[in-house]
Amino acid sequence: MNTEKKVRTRIAPSPSGYLHIGTARTSLFCYLYAKKLKGEFIVRIEDTDKSRTEKKYEDDILDGLEWLGLKYDELYRQSERTDVYVKKLQELVESDKAYISKEKAKDDDVREVEVVRLRNPNTMLTFTDTIRGEITFDTTELGDFVIARSKTDPLYHFAVVVDDALMDITHVIRGDDHISNTPRQILILEACGFERPQYTHLPMILAPDRSKMSKRKGAVAVTEYRAQGFLPSAIINYLALLGWNGGTEKEIYSMEELVQDFSLDHLQKSGAVFDIEKLKWFNKEHRKLIPKESLTRDLKAQLEGNTGILEALERSPKAVEDLLERFSTWAELKEAVATGEYDFYEKLPVLEKDMLAWKKDPNPERMKDRLHKILELIGSVDTTTFTYENVKGAVWAYAETEGKGGVLWPMRVALSGKERSPDPFILAEALGKEETITRLNEAYTLYL
Ligand code: GLU
């Protein structure tokens, strides 16, 4: 018979804010470890502090986990478990591992309260952390610390320990800001006669300046990344590599691959810097894994209302590719569209002679000739097969003999009216033959 205990991990967020990117990473590691070992991943909402918790945050956390694909096997709320804690507290007092102490209330000198204190054995306590190894702590420093404000009002550490034990948590994986809580929690656990879980304290995720991540330094909530249009699979992949590596060069992972490869042995000791550019790169890479049709549909959905761009995308697969290559997120794309970067798909550009000339070439005769020639070459391409390749095929040889910039620059500016835009063949395919000719003619007449 297999006597090994089933692996059970848990994430214990307090619903006092939106799902934090750090909590998401801890959840991911808990999830991966549990799933790898065919165990269970549990969510325990630590909502006992009524003044700090809100239902909307709990909803956001659970919704965010689901969106990321971190499916939990069980869900608990500490606020629904007071009876369990009170019973355990009573047992501790009865066995004299803890005692009731009449004390003056902290907030007022007259009122007396009956707090519960743990009998501290005052020893050197050693525990093993997966990442840091043995950590020894002199518990004398803690004194007989308070574990409940009253016989019916247990404090945080007590609830955590009771929950972890009664929920059969085998591995406590959490942020290393909880290392200092561990000795206190182990003392409670030993007083209760519970078994120790294996502790893994993950180094923090840091802002680029290596300080703590904070709202001032960028988005910290998963929901903000979701709103910007990041794919959950990209966020998962990026978070996995923030503090873990598979021991190879492999960078792109699906959730299934992560489950397969994950282990607690490859966790890094130092804090991991959150790099938004890297996350954007992952987003682009994960987009490539989505079937083209459905990705194009998503792209178009983002551009609803921008008729000209939508028509251009309808005509031109190259224009679709161009947008996907240029923008890592939908938010970036929408921002560019809103600021008019793509208005040449919506309306005729206003042309400036100065801009049309390659390297400000002041020779009007040459410009006139070139535009004339481009018009002639493009005119020969059939309307129904006015594709990127065919337009390029028609103009390319001429551009090479004249010098590419001297031909492609004015062609591109004539079509877009901008110093920066997609290349002229993309523009031509996206605008269609008629519009392309109209715009080139428009440029040509400036030189008549
Ligand atoms: N509620 C704690 C937090 O959100 C987690 C405590 C724990 O994992 O033991 O950081």
Tens of pLDDT, residues 84-133: 999 999 999 999 999 999 998 877 778 899 999 999 999 999 999 999 99
C-alpha closest to that of 182 among 228, 141, 128, 146:
128
Atom from ligand 1 closest to the CA of residue 46: 1
Counting as low any pLDDT under 50, the low residues of the chain are: 1
- Whether 410 is in the pocket of ligand 1, judged by its Cβ within 6 Å, is no
> Closest Cα to atom 10, ligand 1: which residue?
13
| CA 358 – CA 370 distance, rounded (Å) | 11
> Closest Cα to atom 4, ligand 1: which residue?
13
- Whether 40 is in the pocket of ligand 1, judged by its Cβ within 6 Å, is no
Q: Could you tell me which CATH number the domain at 1-76+203-289 has?
A: 3.40.50.620
Atom from ligand 1 closest to the CA of residue 11: 8
- Whether 328 is in the pocket of ligand 1, judged by its Cβ within 6 Å, is no
Ligand 1 centroid vs 27 CA: distance in angstroms? 11
Positive/negative CA dihedral, 192, 193, 194, 195: positive
Do the Cβ atoms of 40 and 6 come closer than 8 Å? yes
The torsion angle over the Cα atoms of residues 336, 341, 347 and 351, rounded to 10 degrees, is 170
| CA 254 – CA 233 distance, rounded (Å) | 7
Ligand 1 centroid vs 302 CA: distance in angstroms? 37
Where helices occur in 203-316 by DSSP H, the ranges are 222-228, 232-240, 255-261, 276-287, 292-302, 307-315
* CATH architecture type of domain 353-445: Orthogonal Bundle (1.10)
> Closest Cα to atom 3, ligand 1: which residue?
13
In the block, residue with structure tokens 């404090």: 155
- Whether 261 is in the pocket of ligand 1, judged by its Cβ within 6 Å, is no
**Catalytic site positions:** 215
Ligand 1 centroid vs 13 CA: distance in angstroms? 6
Assign domain 82-202 to a CATH class: alpha beta
| The model's pTM | 0.92
- Whether 14 is in the pocket of ligand 1, judged by its Cβ within 6 Å, is yes
3-class DSSP assignment, residue 261: helix
| CA 273 – CA 281 distance, rounded (Å) | 15
- Whether 12 is in the pocket of ligand 1, judged by its Cβ within 6 Å, is yes
- Whether 13 is in the pocket of ligand 1, judged by its Cβ within 6 Å, is yes
Quickly count: other Cβ atoms within 10 Å of residue 118's Cβ.
Answer: 24
Tokens of 389: 């390749």
Pocket test for ligand 1, best of 30, 57, 160, 182 (most atoms within 8 A of CB): 160
Tens of pLDDT, residues 26-40: 999 999 999 999 999
Q: What confidence score (pLDDT) does residue 1 get?
A: 47
